[in-house]
């Protein structure tokens, strides 16, 4: 092969190689162009039934277009054009599955369409993205920075909590009923005081039954309804939550009103007392946002009082949450418990068990400490109920 033939041969190989490289990138380039053009054509593409082009990596352009589509979806939702909004938001999430604002708006959209189940799914996904990207509560959360927005200054987590709690208030007529404390006392004595929560509402120090004295009425109502509707596994309580045993909505309002008036014990069961500094640190990081600095909870937002709660009861409930036996837990809490190890869990719950309720909620110190749970049918004292128990046991 002479010099001229050699040059021609290598020029030809080089041209083929260049074309091959171009063809490798051409599909992604052509798809990106198609995606870009669709917005320039009044979003006709996104309102059609044509599947959205898939791009393996989320490019800056895709993120930008996803944000634009999220904005269009929000505008359509504001005008009551729900189906159009749904299409925009679906496309936005397809382009960028980690667009937490699109997921949040999708949840709000489902909420306005009265689809509570899908609303909660989208809120949960939005929080999962925030956690995955490291934008957890108190750590560089996504903040609404549009001054024109009614939610200006709020974090995405704030909005998820706001919409989650809104769901809880939707269908609960009981919350609007005024409870009769005297009638509630009769119901409580007949159903709750003899073997389980004790006459004082202090439960049992071994954790078989919780202290419910002084608990926010809204919280107790929610838990009763969750047990009744199968959102929380509690075989022992299930029978007593049914209308045939407890009564109708007014009976629930009555008994929770009475429970809220009961003074709390000053001698609840506490943990081993190790790693309390770690417990305080992790409580401030994970728990104080909802349950309050001193464990006081929030009646309006359905966050329970946890100060003065028995340590062993908290341990059992935490384990059930990890095992998904309490499906009614808050979406933020569901994500948090995945990131807490056994040592941190014990430290947090130990610290909580030592948080004292305010004096106005406490009973006289000289009163006796709560007893262990009474023996069950097999004579086993204080054995906590398990989800596998027969519901009629």
How would DSSP label each residue in 36-102? HHHHHTTTTTTTSSSPPPP-SS--HHHHHHHHHHHHHHHHHHHTT-HHHHHHHHHHHHHH-TT-HHH
Segments of the chain with pLDDT less than 70: 1-58, 134-146, 148-151, 162-172, 328, 331, 364-393
What's residue 242's pLDDT? 84
Look-up of token digits 């130990």: 350
pLDDT reported for residue 284: 92
pLDDT at 261: 93
CA distance 131 to 261: 39
Distance CA 362, CA 107 (A): 41
Question: What pTM did the predictor assign?
Answer: 0.66
Q: How far is CA 382 from CA 17, 115, 317, 352, in A?
A: 77, 42, 15, 22
- CA triple 361-367-368, angle to 5 deg: 120
The predicted-structure confidence for 137-184, as pLDDT tens digits, reads as follows 555 566 666 676 666 777 777 777 766 666 666 556 788 889 999 999
Closest CA to 204 of 337, 89, 316, 117: 316
pLDDT value, residue 370: 61
What residues form DSSP beta bridges with 362?
A: 264
Domains with residue ranges and CATH for the chain: 26-35+37-165 (1.25.40.10), 174-361 (1.10.760.10)
């Amino acid at each position: 092969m002479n010099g001229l033939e050699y040059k021609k041969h290598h020029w030809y190989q080089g041209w083929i190689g260049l074309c091959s490289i171009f063809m490798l990138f051409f599909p992604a380039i052509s798809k990106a162009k198609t995606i870009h053009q669709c917005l320039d054509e009044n979003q006709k593409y996104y309102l059609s039934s044509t599947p959205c082009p898939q791009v393996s990596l989320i490019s800056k352009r895709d993120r930008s277009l996803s944000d634009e589509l999220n904005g269009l979806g929000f505008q359509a939702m504001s005008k009551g054009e729900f189906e159009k909004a749904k299409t925009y938001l679906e496309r936005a999430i397809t382009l960028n599955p980690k667009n937490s604002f699109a997921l949040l708006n999708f949840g709000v959209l489902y909420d306005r369409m009265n689809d509570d189940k899908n609303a909660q799914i989208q809120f949960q996904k939005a929080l999962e993205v925030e956690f995955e990207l490291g934008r957890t509560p108190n750590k560089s959360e996504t903040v609404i920075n549009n001054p024109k927005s009614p939610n200006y200054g709020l974090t995405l987590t704030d909005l998820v909590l706001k919409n989650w709690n809104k769901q809880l208030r939707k269908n609960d007529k009981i919350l609007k009923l005024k409870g009769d404390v005297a009638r509630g006392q009769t119901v409580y004595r007949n159903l709750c005081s003899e073997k389980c929560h004790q006459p004082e509402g202090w439960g049992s120090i071994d954790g078989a039954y919780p202290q419910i004295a002084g608990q926010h009425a809204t919280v107790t109502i929610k838990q009763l309804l969750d047990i009744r509707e199968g959102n929380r596994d509690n075989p022992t309580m299930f029978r007593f939550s049914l209308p045939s045993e407890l009564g109708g909505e007014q009976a629930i309002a009555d008994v929770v009103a009475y429970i809220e008036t009961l003074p709390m014990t000053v001698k609840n069961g506490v943990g081993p007392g190790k790693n309390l500094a770690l417990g305080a640190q992790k409580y401030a990081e994970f728990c104080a946002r909802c349950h309050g600095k001193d464990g006081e909870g929030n009646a309006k937002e359905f966050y329970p009082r946890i100060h003065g709660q028995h340590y062993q009861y908290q341990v059992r409930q935490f384990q059930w949450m990890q095992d998904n036996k309490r499906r009614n837990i808050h979406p933020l809490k569901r994500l948090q418990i995945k990131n807490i190890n056994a040592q941190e869990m014990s430290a947090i719950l130990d610290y909580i068990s030592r948080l004292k309720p305010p004096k106005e909620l406490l009973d006289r110190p000289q009163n006796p400490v709560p007893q262990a749970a009474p023996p069950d049918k097999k004579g086993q004292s204080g054995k906590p109920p398990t989800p596998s128990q027969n519901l009629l046991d």
